[in-house]
């Protein structure tokens, strides 16, 4: 017998997911963690009844949140991922030849436990020699590691529960201190159509801290509104001026260097939203 998961996004929109099977369900110290088999998108990580990643399209999000900032940086060697407990972002970061170390700091060990057992497509990164899996509070972790990382990726869940503090200016300022003098911050900023206030607030916060702030887009069917946004804060490198060596390639399903060039092209209403010139 199938189950319907009603995922509420705001007062006017919710999505109904048909679940064929619940593979894992545990209440952690932070949230309810589940792995389910969705009718349309395959196995999925669900946190507090919100779908976080599915095996059918996780590669889009994970490739875009990692490869865009990593190819923007001239020589990324040390990468920190805040959140990202499914392991997908770490998997992608480890593909870069210049990257020597990927620290994945996930607050909830239950997420790691569930993904290791049921999402091998992403959790394969846990055993990669470049990857260190750390179960700590990411907010405190960045405070404890000043001037350490070339790229920090905030791969958080939605701004509720344990992730809510990962969406404010104070945290982005701590990330800046944890970055080296030419470091880059990258984070997702949710749906263009459902979370416009959040996008505006994140862009303004990052823009107030970093000399270069850029926004880019990708389409991920799992996420509400489909058009998903990302924001990058950089101390030195501007993706508009990045000249990628075409010989530097990664094994990817979605990302390529033409995508890199196109992803920063923003619709006029998005430019207006974040205060950019049309």
Structural contact between residues 68 and 74, judged by C-beta atoms closer than 8 angstroms: no
Global pTM reads 0.95
pLDDT of residue 163: 52
Q: What is the CATH number of the domain that holds 162?
A: 3.40.50.150
- Can you give the residue range of the structural domain that contains 140? 58-274
**If DSSP codes are grouped into helix, strand and coil, which group holds residue 89?**
helix
Q: How many domains would you assign to the chain?
A: 2
CA–CA gap between residue 84 and residue 62 (Å, rounded): 9
Task: Convert the pLDDT of each residue in 67-122 to its tens digit.
Answer: 999 999 999 999 999 999 999 999 999 999 999 999 999 999 999 999 999 999 99
The verdict on 131 and 32 lying in the same domain is no
Share of the chain above pLDDT 90, in %: 81
pLDDT at 246: 74
* 189 and 144 within one domain: yes
Tokens matching residue 274 = 């974040």
| pLDDT band (50, 70, 90) for residue 221 | confident
Identify whether residues 126 and 36 lie together within a single domain. no
Verify that 23 and 75 share a domain, yes or no: no
Same domain, 219 and 199: yes
Q: Are residues 73 and 43 in the same domain?
A: no
CATH number for position 41:
2.30.140.10
Tell which of 52, 71, 89 closes a domain: 52
pLDDT for res 162:
52
Q: What is the pLDDT of residues 176-202, one digit of tens each?
A: 999 999 999 999 998 898 889 999 999
Specify whether 36 is located in the same domain as 63: no
Catalytic (active-site) positions: 155
Contacts of 19 (CB under 8 A, 6+ apart): 2, 3, 4, 5, 36, 37, 38, 39
Residue 216 has pLDDT above 70, yes or no: yes
When pLDDT is averaged across residues 216-243 and rounded to a whole number, the result is 91
| Predicted confidence band of residue 164 (pLDDT cuts 50, 70, 90) | low
For residues 72 and 182, membership in a common domain is answered with yes
Residue 161 in this model has a pLDDT that exceeds 60: no
State the Cα–Cα distance between residues 125 and 131, nearest whole angstrom.
Answer: 7
- Give pLDDT, residue 155: 95
Domain match, 8 and 144 both: no
Pair (182, 210) in one structural domain: yes
Instruction: Give the other-Cβ count within 10 Å of 275's Cβ.
Output: 10
Examine the domain organization and report whether 100 and 175 are in the same domain. Answer: yes
Query: Do 31 and 66 fall into the same domain?
Result: no
């Amino acid at each position: 017998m199938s189950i319907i998961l009603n995922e509420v996004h705001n007062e006017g929109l919710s999505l109904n997911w048909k679940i064929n099977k619940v593979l894992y369900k545990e209440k952690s110290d932070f949230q309810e963690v589940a792995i389910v088999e969705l009718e349309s998108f395959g196995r999925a990580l669900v946190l507090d009844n919100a779908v976080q990643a599915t095996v059918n399209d996780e590669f889009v999000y994970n490739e875009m949140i990692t490869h865009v900032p990593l190819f923007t940086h001239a020589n990324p060697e040390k990468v920190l991922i805040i959140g990202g407990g499914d392991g997908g972002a770490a998997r992608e970061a480890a593909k870069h030849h210049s990257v020597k170390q990927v620290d994945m700091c996930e607050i909830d060990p239950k997420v790691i436990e569930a993904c290791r057992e049921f999402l091998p497509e992403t959790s394969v990164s846990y055993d990669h020699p470049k990857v260190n899996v750390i179960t700590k509070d990411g907010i405190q972790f960045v405070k404890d590691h000043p001037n350490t990382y070339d790229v920090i990726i905030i791969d958080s869940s939605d701004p509720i529960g344990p992730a809510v503090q990962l969406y404010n200016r104070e945290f982005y300022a701590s990330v800046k201190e944890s970055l080296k003098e030419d470091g880059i911050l990258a984070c997702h900023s949710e749906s263009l159509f459902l979370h416009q206030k959040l996008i505006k607030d994140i862009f303004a916060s990052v823009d107030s801290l970093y000399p270069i702030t850029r926004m880019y887009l990708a389409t991920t069917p799992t996420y509400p509104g489909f058009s998903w946004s990302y924001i990058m804060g950089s101390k030195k490198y501007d993706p508009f001026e990045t000249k990628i060596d075409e010989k530097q390639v990664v094994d990817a399903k979605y990302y390529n260097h033409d995508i890199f060039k196109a992803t920063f092209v923003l619709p006029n209403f998005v430019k207006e939203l974040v205060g950019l010139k049309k």
